Amino acid sequence: MTPDEVRRRLADLARVELAELPTPLTDCPRLSSVIDGPRIMIKRDDCTGLAFGGNKVRQHEYVLGDAIAAGADCLVQGAATQSNHSRQLAAAGARLGLDTYLLPKLPDPPVPAQGNYLVDHLFGAHIRPIGPGESSIAAKQALVAELERAGRRPYVTGMGADRALLLAAVAYVDAVVEIVEQLPPGARLDAIYTTSQGSTQAGLLLGCALLGLSTSVVGICPMPPEHEAWIAPDQVADMVRGAGDLIGAEPDTPYGEVELRQDFVGPGYGVGSAAGREAMALLGRTEGILLDPVYTAKGFSGLLADCRAGRWSAEQTVVFVHTGGLPGLFAQPDEVLAAARTDLG
Ligand SMILES: Cc1ncc(COP(=O)(O)O)c(C=O)c1O
């Protein structure tokens, strides 16, 4: 399919306008030279605009388009206290005039309101914290039942909400079209790296397949398999098919094996890794671009490790999709300072 044909398929889906698109594709020549690696470009989905930006703003255009088309009158999401998804959903709910219910999993003892959790309070969301040992999926189900008993029509997003996760993937088909149109003349899209729990990687894989590209799409998983939101690589392959069905498109190119890497999680979900801190410091010092410790630093550390291992040569072009998460920096000052002290080596 051509980019225009892909766009026409996407235009058939319900959608609301939330993001500043296209986001920039930023060249990183100083970084490439320091690591003696490929041309590295960053797709700046940290700059999607709404409430500090991030990948969910792009995804919520389709997810909330679907919610409104289905007649929903409120939104339900539950995740970590520092959930970027929750922040972006609450901001989108405010913009669209939809009540948003958030179920942040607060640690015990509770932490001071900071980062995402601090700004969540500004969007008029109904915030109902749950305990550290509770299931976010079960808490969302219980809240949906309560809202329905009260005559409301809730729409659930995030983990456990299969349709919303597929629509979130669809949004990244669009991102591939943007990237292809933004690439400098002569550059080939050899690889795309991103941090993903499924949707973003599935959409990137589908986008590349629909456009007939042989690009490697590498997902870096930010959490261990024990986490409730973790999904396996074969589930990502199912998401690619499911997202393709939603847009009525079956790509000619096979997806191959999904490369969703588990080797950059570090000590656990929500906690920074040594390789991530080095990535944060290196990108900050060479290009003035920020990464967050929980998601994007881990993803970028995966890209750096592969470049240093010689997987990509100087003639190749690798795009890192920056999925945002930057308010999380302010909730983890120790991580940020530790990164700043990291030696370039
Ligand atoms: C900053 C950031 N990056 C990546 C992800 C994962 O996105 P996806 O579930 O679409 O793969 C998240 C999810 O919340 C996130 O906040």
Output the domain CATH number for residue 152. Answer: 3.40.50.1100
Considering the domain architecture, whether residues 30 and 99 belong to the same structural domain is answered as: no
Smallest CA-to-CA distance from 236 within 255, 212, 216, 263 is with: 255
Considering the domain architecture, whether residues 97 and 216 belong to the same structural domain is answered as: no
Q: Has residue 169 been placed in a domain?
A: yes
Q: How many angstroms separate the alpha carbon of residue 261 from the centre of ligand 1?
A: 14
The answer to whether the beta carbons of residues 50 and 91 sit under 8 Å apart is yes
Average pLDDT estimate for 283-298: 98
Cα–Cα distance measured from residue 80 to residue 345, given in angstroms and rounded to the nearest whole number: 33
Average pLDDT estimate for 75-79: 96
Pocket test for ligand 1, best of 295, 301, 321 (most atoms within 8 A of CB): 295
Considering the domain architecture, whether residues 8 and 92 belong to the same structural domain is answered as: no
Cα–Cα distance measured from residue 205 to residue 235, given in angstroms and rounded to the nearest whole number: 13
Structure tokens, 7: 């766009």
Considering the domain architecture, whether residues 230 and 327 belong to the same structural domain is answered as: yes
Q: Has residue 69 been placed in a domain?
A: yes
> Please, which pLDDT band fits residue 345 given cuts at 50, 70 and 90?
very low
Q: How many domains does the chain have?
A: 2
Considering the domain architecture, whether residues 326 and 268 belong to the same structural domain is answered as: yes
Q: Has residue 41 been placed in a domain?
A: yes
Helices of type H across 198-232: 199-210
Q: Has residue 185 been placed in a domain?
A: yes
Atom of ligand 1 at shortest distance to CA of 85?
14
Mean pLDDT over the full length of the chain: 95
Considering the domain architecture, whether residues 308 and 255 belong to the same structural domain is answered as: yes
Considering the domain architecture, whether residues 145 and 167 belong to the same structural domain is answered as: no
Considering the domain architecture, whether residues 187 and 286 belong to the same structural domain is answered as: yes
The answer to whether the beta carbons of residues 26 and 44 sit under 8 Å apart is yes
What is the rounded (10 degree) CA torsion for 32, 33, 34, 37?
A: 50
Q: Is a pLDDT exceeding 90 seen at residue 137?
A: yes
**Is the pTM for the entire model greater than 0.95?**
yes
Hey, whose CA ends up nearest to atom 14 of ligand 1? Answer: 85
Q: Has residue 322 been placed in a domain?
A: yes
Residue 208 phi, psi dihedral angles, 5° rounding: -65, -40
Considering the domain architecture, whether residues 37 and 81 belong to the same structural domain is answered as: no
Q: How many angstroms separate the alpha carbon of residue 141 from the centre of ligand 1?
A: 22
> Please, which pLDDT band fits residue 343 given cuts at 50, 70 and 90?
low
pLDDT in tens, 88-129: 999 999 999 999 999 999 998 888 899 999 999 999 999 999
Considering the domain architecture, whether residues 176 and 134 belong to the same structural domain is answered as: no
Annotated active-site positions, please? 83
Considering the domain architecture, whether residues 207 and 268 belong to the same structural domain is answered as: yes
Range of the domain at 71: 55-156
The answer to whether the beta carbons of residues 194 and 201 sit under 8 Å apart is yes
The answer to whether the beta carbons of residues 120 and 87 sit under 8 Å apart is yes
Q: Is a pLDDT exceeding 80 seen at residue 252?
A: no
Identify the domain boundary among 156, 190, 217.
156
Q: Has residue 345 been placed in a domain?
A: no
Residues with beta carbon inside 6 Å of ligand 1? 54-55, 84-85, 168, 195-201, 295-296, 323-325
Atom of ligand 1 at shortest distance to CA of 158?
9
Atom of ligand 1 at shortest distance to CA of 196?
11
Structure tokens, 310: 């010689």
